[in-house]
Structure 1
Amino acid sequence: MKLSSFAFIAVLSGALCATPVLSADKSITPDGKPAPSKPHAKPGSKAAQDEEAAAKTPYATVRDVFSGDTTVAGEKVAFPQSNPSIKAIEITMEPGEETQWHQHHAPLFAYILEGEITVTYEELGKKVYRAGDGLLEAMDVTHKGHNTGEGPAKILAVFLLGDDGVATVAEDKPGANKNKVE
């Protein structure tokens, strides 16, 4: 299936605008010692053992990339109720390349595989995402992405489609229509 140039750019721009939620590393205490998984779970206690057992995976090495239920714009994620599907794409942006202004009408998880992307959000400002960052992108906030790194930027974008939602919808530049009189 061939995409039109506009459809390809819209999908590309939507995937590129992914923005990771950054949080403080709470795995190390100020004195450099590992922190307990829960502050109330004392090492060796049943609560600590239960927490450890729940966190185990069948994999030798695991790094949390993202966990949460709100987008970078603070929106609560709502999963599609009908026609659920997943679409995953890998986007490559060359240095200096920018997306169009757009929104996402479906939840989007993005993982920055390499490079650096700066996303400008209407009324929220700019956020920078670098290789290894994972995020839930804003859905109903107009935004655009820009490769501000020195090399190509690659993003894995995973859309949770359904409810007849569209992954990426082109939008006017913020403020472009604010001076129009109807």
Structure 2
Amino acid sequence: MTPRPTRNWTRQATRFRELRRLKLRPGAHASADDPRSPRSGTEAEEAHMERKKTDVETMTAGLVVGVTQSVKDTGMAALTPLHREVVKGLPRTAEQEVRVLFASLLPGDVTPYHSHRFPVTVYMLEGAFTLELDDHDPVVIGSGQVYVEPAGINMTGSNAGDVPARMALFYVCEPGAPFADPAPRS
């Protein structure tokens, strides 16, 4: 695990960025006569807070419209949201287990009829996966698409294409819970 930066390190990094913005080298100080330097500590703090506010507003706006800034611009990792959905049925225990699984279905493969105790997020890497859920129209999930399988619904999946269907599955469950429960056909 990577250690978290200390507050002192964060302050030093902020100071270095400020010096770079003022085009000063580390260890140098802007003089009171320098037009690039704020006139007082209060002005410096206000200018710093205004820049932070602008950075947060810019990043928030980018997430809302799905655009990200470069790492060089913000010093933060660039994020591109793939999917966002409010779901029901997540575990409410004191601890949860997070599973990331890989599945591959060859052309013509069919999953057993089953249900999941908790929602399963499917991210298609390659091919297409057809999901048939009870009382729902069939759903075809193509390469690069995301789908959240609801909890407690009986279903089966298949690969009707002519290339393998490869997917990453994300499952948050109670520790030790089975991934799927067999479901009787009605």
Q: Place the TM-score, normalised by the shorter chain, in its bin.
A: 0.5 to 0.7
RMSD of aligned C-alpha atoms?
Answer: 2.4
What's 2:83 paired with?
66
Distance 1:52 1:77, change over 3 A: farther
Ranges in structure 1 where 5+ consecutive residues have no aligned partner: 1-47, 71-75, 176-182
What's 1:53 paired with?
59
Identical residues among aligned pairs (%): 18
Report how far residue 53 of structure 1 moved.
Answer: 2.2
Residue pair 1:98, 1:144 contacting (<8 A) in 2 also: yes
**What CA distance in whole angstroms lies between the structure 2 residues aligned with 1:122 and 1:69?**
21
Which 4+ stretches in 1 moved above 6 angstroms? none
CA deviations over 1:46-104 (Å, ceiling 9, x no partner): xx9865322357344x442210113xxxxx24344233111111001000100000000
**What CA distance in whole angstroms lies between the structure 1 residues aligned with 2:57 and 2:85?**
18
User: Which is further off, 124-133 or 78-87?
Assistant: 78-87
**What CA distance in whole angstroms lies between the structure 2 residues aligned with 1:99 and 1:160?**
20
**What CA distance in whole angstroms lies between the structure 2 residues aligned with 1:151 and 1:63?**
28
What's 2:104 paired with?
92
What code does the residue aligned with 1:129 have? I
Number of aligned pairs? 122
What's 2:184 paired with?
172
Report how far residue 164 of structure 1 moved.
Answer: 5.8
Residue pair 1:83, 1:164 contacting (<8 A) in 2 also: no
Does residue 136 in structure 1 map to residue 148 in structure 2?
yes
Indicate the structure (1 or 2) with the bigger Cα radius of gyration: 2
What's 1:32 paired with?
none
Question: Which structure ranks higher in relative contact order (CA pairs < 8 Å, sequence separation ≥ 6)?
Answer: 1
**What CA distance in whole angstroms lies between the structure 1 residues aligned with 2:162 and 2:145?**
17
What's 1:14 paired with?
none
Mapping 1:88-167, distance limit 5 Å: 88-162=100-174, 165-167=177-179
Task: Give the match's secondary structure for 1:95.
Answer: coil
Mapping 1:2-41, distance limit 5 Å: none
Residue pair 2:97, 2:175 contacting (<8 A) in 1 also: no
